[in-house]
Amino acid sequence: MRSHGAHPPSLTWKARATRWRRGLVGLAAFLLLAQLLGSSGVLSRSVLPLASTVLARAAGLAASPRFLTDLAATLAAWAAGLATAAAVAVPCGLILGSVPGVRSATRALVEFLRPIPAVVLIPLVALLLGPGLRMNVTLIAYAAVWPVLLNTIYGLDDVDPLAKETLRAFGFGRIAVIRRVCLPSAAPFIVTGIRLASSVAIVVSIGIGVVTGRIDGNGIGAFIADASTSAPNTAVVLAAALWAGVLGLALNALIAWAGRWALPWQRSYPGERG
Amino acid sequence: MNRIAVRWLVLAAGCAAWQAWATWHRSPFFPPPSAIVARMYGLWFSGPATHLLLTPSATSNILPSLGRVCGGLAIAIAVGVPLGIALGRSAAASAYLEPLLHFGRSMPAVAFVTVFTVVFSLGTQSEVAFIAFGTTWPILLNTIDGARSVDALQAETARAFRLPLGSRITKLIVPATLPKLFAGLRISVSLALVLMVVSELVGSGNGIGYQMNNASGDYDLTGLWAGIVLLGILGYALNAAVLGIEHHVLAWHRGAHRLTS
């Protein structure tokens, strides 16, 4: 059996059921294999825990007040960082995308700042702001700015010039054209940028915790750092990583849903770039 | 040409403004660019000509870091590309495995750094394995997408003419996969640098991240900035290198697109 191109846009109910079934079978087979490798002794249990142990720990974490406090802290840092990034990046993107002179002038700065990953700045920002929520939000915002900024600019490039010219011909000013044509038409790109930024934000927030440990405040990263120091508890680390994956998928779905709700005129989303 | 000149001019103006501001304020956190460049030169690039001007500190820190990045990426390519092609060409196999792979990718790789040090014990091998683990996902998932995008008519024609599997892979599937593969590779290259720094900040005996850890412990902010600027330059250079290879390898692809569109 061979695939022909991408998935067809509308799958029948039966085809969808088959896909779900196969996905679940694959998942079960993977877990079974991991379990067998561990219990047969091929992988030493002192090195990698059994799959069943990891799943049991993950279930236990869902009821652990300490883990839930850390989860809430990660969510708070994620929300504050992402909101800051959007508040900075969308207006900047609107300016860079609609004023060609500013764009080519700042392009070099953007190109040289963007390759510096946020985790590289952890030691500097830790000394500058001191550990805590402020440092977390600053680093998350720095990392999350780029996808939103670039996607906003791409979105403005994609605006129908005829619509802009029409409004201009009717005597609308630059601001009015941006507000009535450019922003609504770039909005789906901005949503895509925020979705990309959301996963970046989770990675950065967990990365900070893993690197600096508990002194930096609460969060899933700090939880993982706790579980890795002194007597490393790999099962707990893997369980926490499992929940971090679930969190990422859930937040991604939430933003996609919010985008569809806020922009009902948009049927499909542009490709993810940035 | 003019646009590139403007770009460099703006960058130079930005550096000059920073220099002026830093000499005026004497903020310990933002040393002037001249001090950072001087530190980078003294730390890494003032060695003998026989060592390509690299100091012992550069050969014992920058080279191991770059080696880990390249080693991890090489493993990621060796694993991700064949597996991705196989999964992309088999609808059944990808239906069984894709949900699992998408979930695997959604887990932030940085969360696993300590797991790798437990499994592979502290050292270069665990850092390389960690980088390979994290960078395999974008390459694998993009290769699956690319292999799936082989033109159905071309695939049918190849089968009708009983083209052997080997030439079907090299002549049909790999060329169709390459554009997506490079998209994944670009993501993986930036990610590799991030993972390298994280693994070295968490615990390592040498490397750029190790030096930055020491600098931050000594409140040596100029040294810290030297590491940041070096990593920025490395990120820029690695990305430019991949873009250059992509440009070279995919020249036919752009040509073909120009013909059809």
Instruction: Return the CATH number at A109.
Output: 1.10.3720.10
Residue B115 has its nearest CB partner, among A23, A108, A237, at A237
B251 close to A (CB below 8 A): no
Q: Are A124 and B225 in contact (CB under 8 A)?
A: yes
Neighbours of A130 (CB within 10 A): 11
Query: What is the C-alpha to C-alpha distance for residues B180 and B146, in angstroms, rounded to an integer?
Result: 5
Which of A210, A226, A238, A254 to probe the B interface (max B CBs under 10 A)? A210
For residues A8 and B62, which has the higher predicted lDDT (pLDDT)? B62
Report whether pLDDT(A185) > 80. Answer: yes
A1 pLDDT band, cuts 50/70/90, is very low
Instruction: Return the CATH number at B251.
Output: 1.10.3720.10
Q: Do B11 and B38 belong together in one domain? A: no
Neighbours of B23 (CB within 10 A): 12
Q: Do B93 and B126 belong together in one domain? A: yes
Report which residue type is found at A62: A
Q: Are A35 and B124 in contact (CB under 8 A)?
A: no
Query: What is the C-alpha to C-alpha distance for residues A269 and A123, in angstroms, rounded to an integer?
Result: 38
Q: How far does B152 lie from chain A, in Å, by closest CA? A: 6
A270 pLDDT band, cuts 50/70/90, is low
For residues A73 and A115, which has the higher predicted lDDT (pLDDT)? A73
A47 part of a folded domain: no
Q: How far does A94 lie from chain B, in Å, by closest CA? A: 20
Residue A206 has its nearest CB partner, among B95, B108, B193, at B108
Report which residue type is found at A70: D
Residue A210 has its nearest CB partner, among B89, B90, B113, at B113
For residues A77 and A174, which has the higher predicted lDDT (pLDDT)? A77
For residues A217 and A78, which has the higher predicted lDDT (pLDDT)? A78
**Which residues of A are less than 8 Å from B112 in CB distance?**
237-238, 241
Q: Give the three-state DSSP class for A220.
A: helix
Q: How far does B72 lie from chain A, in Å, by closest CA? A: 18
B240 close to A (CB below 8 A): no
Summary mean pLDDT of chain A: 83
Q: Are B118 and A232 in contact (CB under 8 A)?
A: yes
**Contact across the interface for A121 and B228, Cβ inside 8 Å:** yes
B228 close to A (CB below 8 A): yes
Which of B97, B98, B115 to probe the A interface (max A CBs under 10 A)? B115
Q: Do B79 and B65 belong together in one domain? A: yes
Q: Do B15 and B109 belong together in one domain? A: no
Dump pLDDT digits (tens) for A210-245: 888 877 678 888 888 888 876 668 888 899 999 999
Q: Are B216 and B197 in contact (CB under 8 A)?
A: no
Token pair of B175 as six digits: 């060329």
Report whether pLDDT(A27) > 70. Answer: yes
Q: Are A135 and A129 in contact (CB under 8 A)?
A: yes
Dump pLDDT digits (tens) for A165-179: 888 888 888 788 888
**Contact across the interface for A123 and B148, Cβ inside 8 Å:** no
Q: How far is CA A89 from CA A86, A255, B18, B88, B237, in A?
A: 5, 17, 22, 36, 25
Domain ranges, residue B227: 31-260
Q: How far is CA B254 from CA B19, B147, B154, B251, B261, in A?
A: 43, 18, 19, 6, 10
Q: Are B79 and B136 in contact (CB under 8 A)?
A: yes
A119 part of a folded domain: yes
Binned average pLDDT, 10 residues per bin, chain B of 261 residues: 74 87 84 87 79 79 91 95 90 86 88 84 86 94 88 84 82 86 91 91 84 86 90 89 88 62 43
**Which residues of A are less than 8 Å from B198 in CB distance?**
119, 207, 210-211
A105 close to B (CB below 8 A): yes
What pLDDT does residue B138 have? Answer: 92
Query: What is the C-alpha to C-alpha distance for residues A25 and A11, in angstroms, rounded to an integer?
Result: 20
What pLDDT does residue A13 have? Answer: 83
What pLDDT does residue B143 have? Answer: 93
Q: Are B216 and A126 in contact (CB under 8 A)?
A: yes
What pLDDT does residue B113 have? Answer: 86
Q: Do B24 and B35 belong together in one domain? A: no
Q: ipTM value, please give it.
A: 0.83
Query: What is the C-alpha to C-alpha distance for residues A24 and B97, in angstroms, rounded to an integer?
Result: 9
Residue A232 has its nearest CB partner, among B95, B118, B149, at B118
**Residues near B75 by beta carbon (within 8 Å), at least 6 away in sequence:** B128, B129, B132, B136
Token pair of A35 as six digits: 């379990």
Residue A241 has its nearest CB partner, among B7, B107, B212, at B107
Query: What is the C-alpha to C-alpha distance for residues B143 and B82, in angstroms, rounded to an integer?
Result: 9
**By CA distance, what is A126's nearest residue in B?**
B216
**Phi-psi region at B66: left, alpha or beta (left = phi > 0; alpha = psi -120 to 50):** alpha
Report which residue type is found at A82: L
**Which residues of A are less than 8 Å from B14 in CB distance?**
108-109
Q: Do B23 and B59 belong together in one domain? A: no
DSSP A63: T
Report CA dihedral (A66, A70, A72, A74) to the nearest 10 degrees: -170
What pLDDT does residue B256 have? Answer: 60
Q: Do B83 and B180 belong together in one domain? A: yes
Token pair of A10 as six digits: 């509308």
Q: Do B17 and B35 belong together in one domain? A: no
Instruction: State the DSSP string of chain B.
Output: -HHHHHHHHHHHHHHHHHHHHHHHH--SSS--HHHHHHHHIIIII-S-GGGTT--HHHHHHHHHHHHHHHHHHHHHHHHHHHHHHHHHH-HHHHHHHHHHHHHHHHS-GGGGHHHHHHHH-TTHHHHHHHHHHHHHHHHHHHHHHHHHTS-HHHHHHHHHTT--HHHIIIIIIHHHHHHHHHHHHHHHHHHHHHHHHHHHHHS-SSSHHHHHHHHHHTT-HHHHHHHHHHHHHHHHHHHHHHHHHHHHHTHHHHHHHHHH-
Q: Give the three-state DSSP class for A219.
A: coil
Q: Do B4 and B108 belong together in one domain? A: no
What pLDDT does residue B1 have? Answer: 55
A149 close to B (CB below 8 A): no
A140 close to B (CB below 8 A): no
Q: Do B168 and B254 belong together in one domain? A: yes
Number of domains in chain A: 1
Query: What is the C-alpha to C-alpha distance for residues B116 and B199, in angstroms, rounded to an integer?
Result: 10
**Which residues of A are less than 8 Å from B183 in CB distance?**
none
The verdict on pTM exceeding 0.90 is no
**Residues near A28 by beta carbon (within 8 Å), at least 6 away in sequence:** none
A63 part of a folded domain: yes
B36 close to A (CB below 8 A): no
B99 close to A (CB below 8 A): yes
**Residues A168, A172, A178, A184, CA torsion sign:** negative
- Please tell me which of A2-6, A59-63, B128-132 the model is most confident about, judged by mean pLDDT: B128-132
A18 part of a folded domain: no
A37 part of a folded domain: no
Report whether pLDDT(A273) > 50. Answer: no
- Please tell me which of A92-96, A159-163, B48-52 the model is most confident about, judged by mean pLDDT: A92-96
A272 pLDDT band, cuts 50/70/90, is very low
**Range from A41-50, A132-141, A243-252, B77-86 carrying the lowest mean pLDDT:** A41-50
Q: Do B11 and B91 belong together in one domain? A: no
A273 close to B (CB below 8 A): no
Q: Do B193 and B211 belong together in one domain? A: yes
B6 close to A (CB below 8 A): yes
A8 part of a folded domain: no
What pLDDT does residue A11 have? Answer: 65
Query: What is the C-alpha to C-alpha distance for residues B15 and B32, in angstroms, rounded to an integer?
Result: 9
B121 close to A (CB below 8 A): no
**Which residues of B are less than 8 Å from A113 in CB distance?**
232
Number of domains in chain B: 2
For residues A2 and A88, which has the higher predicted lDDT (pLDDT)? A88
- What is the helix (H) or strand (E) element at residue A152, kind and residue range? helix A133-157
The label of the residue with tokens 């004497």 reads: B26
Which of B 150-179 lie inside 8 A of A, CB atoms? 152, 155
Which of A 114-133 lie inside 8 A of B, CB atoms? 115-117, 119-124, 126-128
What pLDDT does residue B163 have? Answer: 82
For residues A274 and B131, which has the higher predicted lDDT (pLDDT)? B131
**Contact across the interface for A19 and B95, Cβ inside 8 Å:** yes
Domain ranges, residue A62: 53-262
Residue B91 has its nearest CB partner, among A1, A121, A127, at A1
